A and B are shown apart, each in its own frame.
Chain A
Amino acid sequence: KQEVTQIPAALSVPEGENLVLNCSFTDSAIYNLQWFRQDPGKGLTSLLLIQSSQREQTSGRLNASLDKSSGRSTLYIAASQPGDSATYLCAVTSGSRLTFGEGTQLTVNP
């Protein structure tokens, strides 16, 4: 059974800092990995999708990497802003489902 772990569970940083969120998974037989953002009381917004054959994807200030063999992904956020405050979830696609981690709750302080 696929298990996904996200570290840290919560993170508080001052505005302008670069930061890294971590995601690990137990079964490397995945199709892809997706990072999502969730604001309080809202649904999930897709940030980046990395196919299993890819090593990284970039979108604006976000960069996600994937090391399938070691079962790890990182989400790098450059020059963080208060508007980046949210919960960040990673999900791996394998079998017939996406399996989610518990999320990292990020707070960026002005």
Chain B
Amino acid sequence: GAGVSQSPRYKVAKRGQDVALRCDPISGHVSLFWYQQALGQGPEFLTYFQNEAQLDKSGLPSDRFFAERPEGSVSTLKIQRTQQEDSAVYLCASLKQRLMNTEAFFGQGTRLTVV
């Protein structure tokens, strides 16, 4: 596709519900990131993939958060037993090559509201 695509754009979840957020990176892009952005703040790092390998997951806030990219393309961020503090915009970014060399392209984000 022309850009990074994320779905759904908006998600309302009841507290305790599990959610899955999808990211379709730009075709052929090697690197993929997930970020969490609270209202009025800058994005915070969650996790980084190079192809299918999850190289850094140190930003995941708890073991309720899980991300995968099984075939090195589409990625899914899963949040189990959602809580109110999980409400945020979740952004996905992809890069053509490894992190240090290239420009990051971001999707439109998924706005998660936990009620």
Q: Which residues of chain A have a CB within 8 Å of any CB of chain B?
A: 4, 31-32, 34, 36, 41-46, 49, 89, 91, 93, 95-103
Q: How far is the CB of B56 from chain A (nearest CB, A)?
A: 4
**Which B residues fall within an 8 A CB radius of A?**
4, 6, 33, 35, 40-45, 48, 55-56, 59, 91, 93, 99-101, 103-109, 111
* B103 and A43 form a contact (CB under 8 A): no
- Given known pairs A96-B56, A97-B48, A102-B42, the reply for A34 and B107 (CB within 8 Å) is no
**Candidate in A42, A93, A99 with the most chain B CB atoms within 10 angstroms:** A93
CB distance from A103 to the nearest CB of B (A): 6
The residues of B that contact A45 with a CB separation of less than 8 Å are 106
Per the bound structure, the CA–CA distance linking A49 and B110 in Å amounts to 25
Whether the Cβ atoms of A32 and B100 lie closer than 8 Å is: yes
Is A43 a contact of B42 with CB atoms below 8 Å? no
Residue with the greatest number of chain B CB neighbours at <10 A, chosen from A31, A32, A34, A98:
A98
- With A89-B42, A97-B56, A101-B42 known as contacts, the answer to whether A43 contacts B106 (CB < 8 A) is yes
Partner of B100 from A4, A31, A43, A100 at Cβ < 8 Å? A31
